[in-house]
Amino acid sequence: MIDINLIRENRELVKENIKKKFQDEKLPLVDEIYELDVRFREAKSNADNLRSEKNKLSDKIGALMREGKKDDAAQVRIDISKIDDDIEEYEKIEVGLEELIKTKMLDIPQIIDDSVPIGKDDTENVEIEKFGDPVVPNYEIPHHADIFESVSGLDKESAGRVSGNGFYYLMGDIARLHSALISYARDFMIDKGFIYCLPPFMIRSDVVTGVMSFEEMDNMMYKIEDEDLYLIGTSEHSMIGKFKGQIVKEEELPITLTSYSPCFRKEVGSHGIEERGIYRVHQFEKEEMVVLCKPEDAMDWYNKMWKFTVDFFRSLDVPVRTLECCSGDLANLKVKSCDIEAWSPRQQKYFEVGSCSTLGEAQARRLSIRMKTKDGNKYVATLNNTVLATPRGLIAVVENNYQSDGSITVPEVLVPYMGGVKVIKPKK
């Protein structure tokens, strides 16, 4: 949510930003909100003036009573009662307009950073940099589902009977490799100075609307029937929600957290659920990083955070690249975002394994997260970034470590988490 002062003082800037995001249908909203805000401030001003008049009259009553003018004092009380009625009416108008303005403001996209490339959708995202040399071996690499099944590591058939499409059982060494990746990601971020956290896996609706747009919520979140609770799509939701309504001390910033959670997503839309493999599923696990900082420090943290994910995958010998998200691919709350993509030697192309975003003050405004400074309370900036989302991360590691004999070499940094297992061999 943007600052209402931007609409009061620079409507054209807000409209131009909407155009950059190719959401022209929202342009009339800017003028609607402006007019509603004029009415809101007018009602507030009228109520404030009446309160001032009431205070003067209240003081007058005491003087009249001291002079013995009881009838005059009684008339003033009648006048005050009428003023109270008028104040109550204006307050109702204020509350109604304030709620309407807030609802409409939620649809106005965040002001994007000047460095964001302009484009309609993810097909116009821009490659920034590659890390590591992508290798295509001189032998065939099977589909990841076939690799997993060759080592007795995947059972989607049973998961289909138990839970339906979009779910899976990981078994044996593949399940162990999956857990090793999660544990290593946790320790990797702890070593970077982040505080480890296990958050709630369900959140209330007011937190959901505080961390994402309505469109994202409808496409992603599973709602618990008859409860004001949603299953989280990423631990970022819980972690930002942790600070809802809080005022942190300026000297406590930045707050750097890393969190583990299972994640649940409907995956509604054009992508759908992958029938065969486990690249796009309803349930996965994730190690996330979240930062709360001063707004002026946000871009520095943004650049630190995506580099952490690059370093993580490079420590696993997985080549990656960064991809700048264009304006039309940015969710409404984001100021700037980039995807981290891992090399797939089977497909001979990169695929997304993580995403880093700075959201400016958008989430902080929605959730009222502020810092206490000598100049008063100010909104903080929030950022989030994927350390590891798996099974996607698992797929990247397995494909890049698949050998010609059908075995999988365990990356050196994961061997301690695998109990010393260095090679996963196919079952005969």
In tens, the pLDDT along 136-183 reads 999 999 999 999 999 999 999 999 999 998 899 999 999 999 999 999
- Contacts for 25 with CB less than 8 Å, ≥ 6 apart: none
Radius of gyration for the alpha carbons in the chain, expressed in angstroms and rounded: 28
Q: Determine, yes or no, domain membership for 340.
A: yes
Banded model confidence at residue 75, pLDDT cuts 50, 70, 90: confident
Q: Determine, yes or no, domain membership for 113.
A: no
Number of domains present in the structure of the chain: 2
Q: What is the CATH number of the domain that holds 20?
A: 1.10.287.40
Phi then psi dihedrals of residue 211, to 5 deg:
-110, -10
Q: What is the pLDDT of residue 270?
A: 47
Query: 278 with 143, same domain?
Result: yes
Give the integer Cα–Cα distance in Å for 220 and 200.
17
Query: 133 with 97, same domain?
Result: no
Mean pLDDT in residue range 217-240: 90
Query: 399 with 366, same domain?
Result: yes
Burial 46-79 (b: 16+ CB within 10 A, else e): bbeebeeebeeeeeebeebeeeeeeeebeebeee
Q: Determine, yes or no, domain membership for 114.
A: no
Q: Determine, yes or no, domain membership for 275.
A: yes
Which value, to the nearest 10 degrees, does the dihedral of the CA atoms of residues 186, 191, 194, 198 take? 30
Domain boundary, last residue among 79, 105, 131: 105
Per the prediction, the chain carries an average pLDDT of 93
How confident is the model over 291-328, as pLDDT tens digits? 999 999 999 999 999 999 999 999 999 999 999 999 99
Query: 127 with 101, same domain?
Result: no
Give the integer Cα–Cα distance in Å for 173 and 305.
30
73: containing domain: 4-105
- The region of weakest confidence among 53-62, 98-107, 119-128, 135-144 is 53-62
Identity of the residue numbered 426: P
Banded model confidence at residue 62, pLDDT cuts 50, 70, 90: confident
Q: What is the pLDDT of residue 236?
A: 92
Cβ atoms 263, 233 nearer than 8 A: yes
